[in-house]
Amino acid sequence: MKYVDEFRDPVLARTLADAIARITTRPWTMMEICGGQTHAIVRHGIDRILPEGVSLLHGPGCPVCVTPAETIDLAVAIAREPEVILCSFGDMLRVPGNEASLLGARARGADVRMVYSPLDALRIARETSEREVVFFAIGFETTAPASAMTVAQAAREGIRNFSLLVSHVLVPPAIEALLGAPDNQVQGFLAAGHVCTVMGCSEYEPIARRHRVPIVVTGFEPLDILQGIYLCIRQLEEGRAEVENPYSRSVRREGNRKAQELLRRVFTVQKQRWRGIGEIAESGLGLAPEFAAFDARLRFDVCSDTAERRNECISGEILRGVRKPPDCPAFGTRCTPERPLGATMVSSEGACAAYYRYRRAAGRSAREEAVP
């Protein structure tokens, strides 16, 4: 398949792995931000062909995983309102809140529907004018423009029975928070290519300078990731801390200006709680005053407990890169994709789901597709 197969070429992958080994003189710790990259790394065994001492930590770039339990509780409370149809993406319906998941609410009679796009939810609102349709909007800078476009469309059409429960989050403030944490081990980042396709990569430049960390914009195929690791280690070895963009087939430094303009028009930047991490200043989006009529938090007079309750799940530490899924005593036993205890096992981009799928068996899983 064009644009896929050439980025999975095993000979080139081996060449890149050899190049990484040649330039590496000491241990380095890097973090891939995005859950999609984590899945590619685990699936293709990329972390297992790196030189000894070079490690990859898995970052918080899974939007389903970082949506706080109290926001899911709020979504469940809204879904239980008799006139409401609550719509969201499939994984989001399965993630447990403090009390229940949205699928659990559906089993008890709430009208909860899976959609592939916020525009699907808007269509349902158009077709069901006697009901209130709420789209639970999650995701990073990649999915936020679609939410913004949908709200702008609803406003243009004068659709009154549609609203958004917004839980969009922003990547650069999360990187800053991780770098500022006392237990931070990350020396370089592989930034998520799809986020940079929208936002560009210039906003990473002050972070790289301030924290003296290389940030390499990285795609999602094995060669993209190996190239990102190579460039990141080369900067570390040379004492540089710059933003590099080898993912130029998708990312321009300035990003997608139209999408950014739409985000600025529809949303305002605000503080946001991240599941397992806590509150990060200026790391989330809320609807701008002009679009407040579409804000489900204002439209529905429901409340939910704001405290995140503790269970044995250590996904907060996994999302901060402090621990890895096999460190969790519940991994693969009390916690599985069928009976998940935490969001990182539910989401198709979650780190626990990646390890369960590709590394569950002791040693190497038969399903792991290794770079030779």
Which residues of this protein are in contact with ligand SF4, per CB under 6 A? 313-315, 318, 325, 328, 330-331, 335, 340-342, 344-345, 352
Closest CA relative to residue 78, chosen from 65, 90, 88: 88
Cα(1)–Cα(3) distance, integer angstroms: 6
Residue closer to ligand SF4 by CB (options 4, 362) is 362
Distances (CA, A) of 216 to 191, 240, 246, 259: 6, 12, 7, 22
Residue closer to ligand SF4 by CB (options 174, 318) is 318
Min CB(343)–ligand SF4 separation in Å? 7
Residue closer to ligand SF4 by CB (options 285, 353) is 353
Min CB(310)–ligand SF4 separation in Å? 11
Cα(162)–Cα(130) distance, integer angstroms: 11
Residue closer to ligand SF4 by CB (options 217, 346) is 346
Closest CA relative to residue 29, chosen from 140, 183, 176: 183
First and final CA of the chain: distance in angstroms? 20
Min CB(41)–ligand SF4 separation in Å? 17
Residue closer to ligand SF4 by CB (options 187, 344) is 344
Min CB(82)–ligand SF4 separation in Å? 33
Min CB(360)–ligand SF4 separation in Å? 11
Running DSSP on this structure, what letter comes out for residue 45?
T
Q: How many CB atoms lie under 10 A from the CB of residue 367?
A: 11
Residue closer to ligand SF4 by CB (options 10, 332) is 332
Min CB(308)–ligand SF4 separation in Å? 13
Residue closer to ligand SF4 by CB (options 163, 347) is 347
Using CA atoms of 360, 363, 366, 367 in order, give the dihedral in degrees to the nearest 10.
50
Buried b (16+ CB within 10 A) or exposed e, 118-134: bbebbbbbeeeeeebbb
Q: Is 278 left (phi over 0), alpha (psi -120 to 50) or beta?
A: left
Min CB(314)–ligand SF4 separation in Å? 5
Cα(224)–Cα(40) distance, integer angstroms: 10
Min CB(57)–ligand SF4 separation in Å? 14
Residue closer to ligand SF4 by CB (options 235, 344) is 344
Cα(319)–Cα(303) distance, integer angstroms: 27
CB-closest chain residue to ligand SF4: 342
